[in-house]
Every structure is written in C-alpha cells, then in structure tokens.
C-alpha cells in the first residue's frame, strides 16, 4: 500500500463504515484491540460495516469462530439480500479451532452464507471487503481469542480502488485454491466427525467463559 497516495491522512473514529455519498474519498483508520479502552473496537468496526452492507460481504479469516452477535449480523445481512461469503482455513493447523469452526457450518449455510475452504496451502489472511468500497486488513482473526483476548491491530479503509483490488485477489484465491462447502457435504459427515466438532466448540466456549470476557456471545 502506498500511504503517500492517501487523500486524507488523519485517523478517523475506530469504527468506519461505507459511505455511499463519498466515493471519491479515501478514509483510513488504525483500529486496535486491547484489554483497556479498546476491548471490542475491531469487532465493532466489522459489525458496523456488516450492518451497512448493501450488496456483498466477503471475509477471509484463518480462524473463524464468531460470537452470537457477529453470526446474527451476517445472517441478517444475508436475509436482506446481501451476498455473504466467508473464506476459511481448509487445512488443519490448530485442531481445536478447526473442528469448533465446523460446528457452525450448518447454521451459517442455513442462513444463506456461502463457505469456501482454502486448501491449496495454509490460509493466513485476516481481511474483509464490503461492497467493494470498505476493507480491512490486519492481525485479527474473527475468533474469540483475537476479538476478546489478544492485542490486535487492523487498518480499516474506505477506498473503492483498494477494496476492489482486494476483492479481486480474494476471488482468485477462491477460484484457484478453495473448495465451496455445501449443506449436503455437512449432512454427509460421519457422526463421529460431527461429535468431535461440537465437543471442540463446547471446549472453546468453556475456555472463553472461564475468562469472563465473552459475555453472552459465547454462551449461546
């Protein structure tokens, strides 16, 4: 990214949403998550962008285990006609998170959200694009460890050019290295695999509950 090309250099508030009236401008914000004043700033930036989406949401996250609010926001977007796509890790790197994430596939697919697993290599992306105009790139996955516990930082941008290029890059990754997961695939999973997924999800919920950081998000 050529920061010198930004038309506006000041940091905006932590939560920056797409603004359809300002297509010619470039806005950027540095959004952090810590355990003091900015505990949920990255999550709130995502949620505001998802709520404002009109056409499409594309999220690529190596580890994806959103809480109740985030899942409902994506489902609500899909229900109002927004195309919602998530590109996730297709290879097993961290066993617990891998299987816990798969416990959510059925509900996500049932809500009309498309799921792709990247299997060409390990996925390390932590990015999202909304309406080809809003984008975020950073260190935060969409899982409880990144959103509730770890110190993370994302850059949020409002730029048609940057977001469009990132969206095209994600499409190439899906076309060349990913496999779409369908509801039928989940129904055909062996009973043991399903049980392992739910046990893994329950274990993650218990861990987050022990920290008392997740509130109701990881109790339901």
pLDDT digits (tens, 9 = 90+) for 91-104: 988 899 999 999 99
pLDDT digits (tens, 9 = 90+) for 108-126: 999 999 999 999 999 999 9
Q: What is the largest CA-CA distance in the chain?
A: 55
Model confidence over 2-46: pLDDT tens digits? 333 333 333 344 444 444 445 556 788 999 887 777 778 999 999
* Phi/psi at 211 (5° precision): -75, -20
- Tell me, what's the pLDDT at 15? 47
- Count, residues in the chain: 220
Q: At a CB cut-off of 8 Å and minimum separation 6, what does 37 contact?
A: none
Q: In angstroms, what is the C-alpha Rg of the chain?
A: 17
Tokens read off for 77: 């977007």
Fold held by 18-209: Endonuclease; Chain A (3.30.870)
Domain ranges in the chain? 18-209
Of 18, 8, 97, the closest CA to residue 54 belongs to 18
Task: Please give the average per-residue pLDDT across 191-209, as a whole number.
Answer: 90
Residue 177 has pLDDT above 90, yes or no: yes
């Amino acid at each position: 990214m050529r920061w010198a090309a930004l038309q506006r250099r000041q940091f905006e508030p932590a939560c920056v949403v797409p603004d359809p009236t300002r297509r010619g401008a470039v806005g950027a914000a540095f959004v952090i998550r810590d355990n003091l004043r900015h505990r949920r700033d990255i999550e709130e930036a995502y949620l505001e962008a998802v709520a404002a989406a009109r056409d499409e949401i594309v999220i690529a996250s190596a580890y994806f285990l959103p809480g109740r609010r985030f899942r409902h926001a994506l489902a609500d977007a899909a229900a109002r006609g927004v195309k919602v796509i998530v590109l996730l890790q297709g290879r097993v790197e961290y066993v617990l998170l891998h299987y816990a994430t798969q416990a959510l596939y059925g509900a996500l697919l049932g809500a009309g959200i498309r799921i792709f697993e990247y299997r060409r290599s390990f996925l390390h992306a932590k990015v999202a694009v909304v309406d080809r105009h809003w984008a975020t790139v950073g260190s935060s996955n969409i899982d409880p460890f990144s959103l509730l516990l770890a110190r993370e930082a994302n850059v949020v941008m409002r730029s048609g050019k940057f977001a469009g290029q990132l969206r095209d890059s994600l499409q190439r990754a899906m076309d060349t290295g990913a496999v779409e997961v369908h509801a039928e695939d989940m129904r055909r999973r062996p009973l043991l695999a399903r049980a392992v997924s739910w046990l893994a999800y329950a274990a993650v919920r218990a861990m987050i509950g022990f920290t008392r950081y997740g509130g109701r998000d990881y109790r339901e």
